[in-house]
Structure 1
Amino acid sequence: MQYPDNTFISTKDLMFTGVLNDIKKSQRALQPVFEALTNAFEAIKIKANSENDYKGEITITINLSDTTAGDFKEFKSLSIQDNGVGFNEIEFNRFNVFKDFTKGYKNLGSGRIQYVHYFDNTEFKSIFLDNGKYYERSFIVSKDSKYLDKNAIVFHKHCKITDIQKTGTKVTFNSLLENSYIYSTLTEEKLKEFILERYIHYFCYNTTSLPDIKIKYYEQGELKGDTNITKSDIPTVDKKDTVSIQYSKIPDIGSKLEKIDKREDFTIDAFKISKDLLKANDLKFVSKGEVIEDTNISLSSLANNDEVEGYKYLFLVSGNYIDSRDTNLRGVLNIPSKDTFAKNTNIFYNEEVLLEDIEQSVNEKISTMYPEIEEVKKNHIEQLEKLKKMFLLDDETAKDIKISINDSESKILEKFYEAEAKKTANIDASIKSSIDKLDSLDTTSEDYQELLKAEVEKLVSAIPLQNKTSLTHYVARRKLVLDLFQKILDKKLIVQNNDSSAYDEALIHNLLFQQQSKDPETSDLWIINEDFIYFKGSSEKQLSKLEIDGKRVFKNEFTTEEENYLRSLGENRKIKRPDVLLFPEEGKCIILELKAPDVNVSEHLTQIDFYAFLIRNFTEEEFQITTFYGYLIGEGIEANDVLGRVSRYEHSYHLDYFFRPSENVHGVGGREKGSIYSEVIKYSTLLERARIRNRIFIEKLNN
């Protein structure tokens, strides 16, 4: 035999400590049990294929003991015993190969990882037949340190000739590594329910070859209950029908797909199952008696959670064509989609039945088999139409996106808005193009108005009619944002009941530009200036971590003199956080500083100047920022306070803001001085300006 007795089975190709870290513990507590039970089913199937008059048997035994915690018991062990083919050399070798995708009843080798995640040890005792002799193999699976120290999770105890002449395997899970409610309250009836739910697809299709499955429950070594899973527990086929589907072929290289007269028949087995047993409606392929769980077709008439009079539906599709397209890889069928067939004709037959055609034909047949399902589909369509009407979603956009019957309302809206966002981007590009052409216009020329009108007409003709809905949403969203801004200023939001000034500032900050964000394009900085959303920038970013195009702006290393200054007076000036920094182009920086509505803004007039000083003098050489624009924004603005503290500010009475013409930004360490233009302005002033712009836009759209 290949594996010596009393040996840890290690591998040179991987480290199990890494594997255990990569493959996380399953959130489904009974996953190890299901892994072992699946192995038992497949071991029985292998033996059934080689022996006549053979009947598979599986016995599951639960062992718990009493505790002082009421209904909770102490889990001792759970065993699964089958009379399948046993762990012969081939199957044991597959068990020890991590992620073995070849067909065989030991799955991918990842199941044993769940064994060791949940249990202290899992013991295997197996009898198999080899060259006319019966052998007993015994091994243990664990992640105990003595195993991992040998880079192993399997200890092979022995493989020896035995007098027992009945093949099979007993897997015993011993001692939980962590307490589990599922295992501590597990009984024979509960486990039966779990197994029926987990294997309903398999049971429905394999009713005639179902093994005898017994479940026994022990407490303190005393049998307390037993049950069986029999044919009477398994739903029977409710309806059966066939569908004939045409083959497709590509006549010549570069030609389009075309249907041909050749056809293939597919059988649909329909099961109508209680919603308590079948958790989701489903459509699956069946190949050579095996349900393909990762089937690449779906139901178009029923969502996963739909039910009709307390029932859900399972449809299993089989046929000679599906069997012929099976592969050596578990759960993989070589049935092409239209796209893969057109692009990879060399790896498929010249004539194929395509996935899309199977899906469409099967779903059409299902609708005729169950008219009540077609009614459910109509309800989904009606709900979609209501959603489109409510949010002004246009039909043209609907044609551009693929909506699944399983999509939630929020997912449908997300798909619509993503599609409309692409259209909006195209509109913006057209607008930008027209704006660029304005450079050639002369407002003093006699034909200026005619030329301008011509450019406007070009722009309008470039905007397809279906994009008006997208523009409407664009404007409507802005209106909602402006209304929300007003509520914040009026302290009308429920979250403002704590009367915290700092929280009011955070609300405004996040409305304009989410804190810690670095994507102005998704912000609402247009409230301040329409151009701001098109610039690069960041929100509340620490200066020392500030980046432009992925490059660090602030220096990584400073001279001793610079370091001493930056940390002088008990401060660390490198961790200053301007509210918003924007970079419209090389050498320029916009600094926004936002204050809570009840803060006296004049007390912070030099804050932006100081940020400009730090950015001017302590950035990397490639970022020579010399021109700054500062905007100090709040609501508590008193004219005499502003002018009294910094006399260089001037009051623009008509536009209701204060501005300071160009002021020097002091340069140190040999750097030239820069300049800064500053404004001090109220939130309410910006809000009113933005409302006027949006109102004009709405009026134009309505016209």
Structure 2
Amino acid sequence: MNSKAYINLDGAMRIIKKSNNPLSPIFEAVTNSLESIVYRKESDDSFEAFVNVKFVYKTNLDESKELDCIIVEDNGSGFYSDSYDRFVEFFDKSKGFGNRGSGRLQYFHRFDLVKISSFFSESEEFKHRYIECYKDRFISKEIIEVSKEKKYFTSVELCLPILSEPDRSVLVDSNFKSVFESFVHHFLLRIYLESKEGLGAPSITLSFVEDGKETNKKEINPENLPEPIREGVIDIPYCSVVPPGSGKTRVRFEEVEAENERLNWACFEFSDTDLNLNKVYLCSKDIPVKSIGNHLFNKKDTFDGKRYISVFYGDLFNKPESVTDSVDEFTFPSKKEIRSQAEGLFFDFSTPLIIEDLLLDRISEKLNSIYDFISEIIESSQANVQGIAKAHGIPFHLISKSGIRISDSEKTITSKLYACQAKELAEVGYRAKKIYDGLVSMNPTSETYQNDIKEKAKELSKLVDDQNKEELSKYVIRREMVVNILKKILDEELDYQKKPVQGRKNKDKEGLIHDLVFKRKSKSTNSTNDLWILSEEFVHFEGCSDIQIDKISDINGEALLKPVPHEVVTELGFKKTGRPDIYLNPGEEKCLIVEFKEPDTDLSDYLNQMTKYCILIANYGVKKVTSFYCYLIGENISPYATLDGDYKKTVNGDWIRANVTIPTMDENRHTIANAQVEIIKLSSIAERAHRRNLSFAEKLGVTDLLKE
């Protein structure tokens, strides 16, 4: 009648699964020490309590570090008879503190041997109990004897570690600071509440010992831990699960107004040197069980050198049925799980439930008010990030995906935004390629061809986000403004042209037009220009503006011309110091030259100017050039009176000479290159640019904005 059933240790470990947290066996041992100290304080409140935790390492022959054992020491009540009986009997809940009587099973999930040495007082005498516990035989050795030393001291030694790679990353490879911070996180709330209740929480000393030498040591002192800067409560409602009605296929969830659970919360503030990460914890029995995300800011953000831990705790989380047996997850069902279960015949629709989704939503909402004191900092930071994103033309929706922290510099923010954009563009590019690959199915002879290609275009357009469409609209509008400025220069309507300046000649139209298209003295097309107004392709070419021809070089610093003998220049009447208005290098043995002239200048007087540049470059160029494209741009030309028969009228009303031979500079005069010379009116350029802009504007729906 008085006999007890025995439980198989291996079977118990199959029921109580291994905790996800590698530190859980150490935390369990420290928790037992804290509870043992509370027991002793019930009869003696005069002693100075302590808990020591030692991580003992050894160095292997290959100089790798190995965990030897972990020792937890305290001066609590010790393993007296009742305490020992509870230790031997699994699932004994008589200890109190809401214990399950199963925590020590976590020892054997990561360690093969547990040694316990305990000095305690019982029956008015001090005793010493020594225990060795193995996974395959729980109590393999027990010695109890009267102690000559009158002291309270218990040591729990976790030996013969059996560690997985994740275990090693925490128990072996982690640095002392990260382990110490984990202890602060884990026991912060418990120490605070015990101090608040007058229980006198002890200090916890953590140390690393390597090859017998103490390398790190630090104390978690209750007096030095912060108290909450804010505290409060939050109500968590129960929900009733409503079965689907007629014609509906999903269950519904309705809050039960009369029923709710109340949780407490507290927010602790740390210096960023003492706390590496901001955290939000849900706690059971005053220790963290689950870490949840904070939608307001990132884990590593700092605010005036501060970081924060917020904890939520209360009776709801302390109930045994609310937490898994390994005490590393809560058991509240999600809406998805309930919907799946509700399809069964025996689901109980009559019992209201605490639902995980609603619980986390309420806590997330509460964080808004908990951290309202830093909301201005957050809003200012968000506005700054949006400004940086806008300045670089990066869509706002990428901000949340970029991992930006409030403490990030502008350079770091920009780098993260571009990295995130590159990743998204790669995905968009892949999807765009799939659309283009689908063009092989298009059949221009089909009656549905126009609709088919229109649908393909719509599909591709969806890949362009709204912000980039807005930026494209701004770009088209700006281009039209450039066209309007060109027209005003020709009509002398700019205020700059109307205001007289004595002794200065910088108000000539040629100079204004030149600077409008491509700023004079510009050494590279990498600088801002509006070459598109001449031709869309020009913006992609390397080149320069108004640079002396013998000073022109490419992006690698290689000169355009070889040294030209002075006598050659003099004899042939060239000016190697001349400056083409615009020089562009399209590559592939090609060269492009643009010359602007005053609108009232007769362009026919300058037909040979660019040909001289072509002869000089073809004969003395560092790199071979065989094709030249020359553009003479002004407004005044009498083609029928001044142009020879080789010039033909273009569809735009301009004039082009398609084949001008470029000879060698010797008596043989062999043809070594060909040039094409085009004469274009400024008014024609303005009209063509306007037509292109209008075509874009119609597609974007901004034609009204192109009107003056």
Q: What TM-score do you get using the length of structure 2 for normalisation?
A: 0.44
Q: What TM-score do you get using the length of structure 1 for normalisation?
A: 0.44
Larger Rg: 2
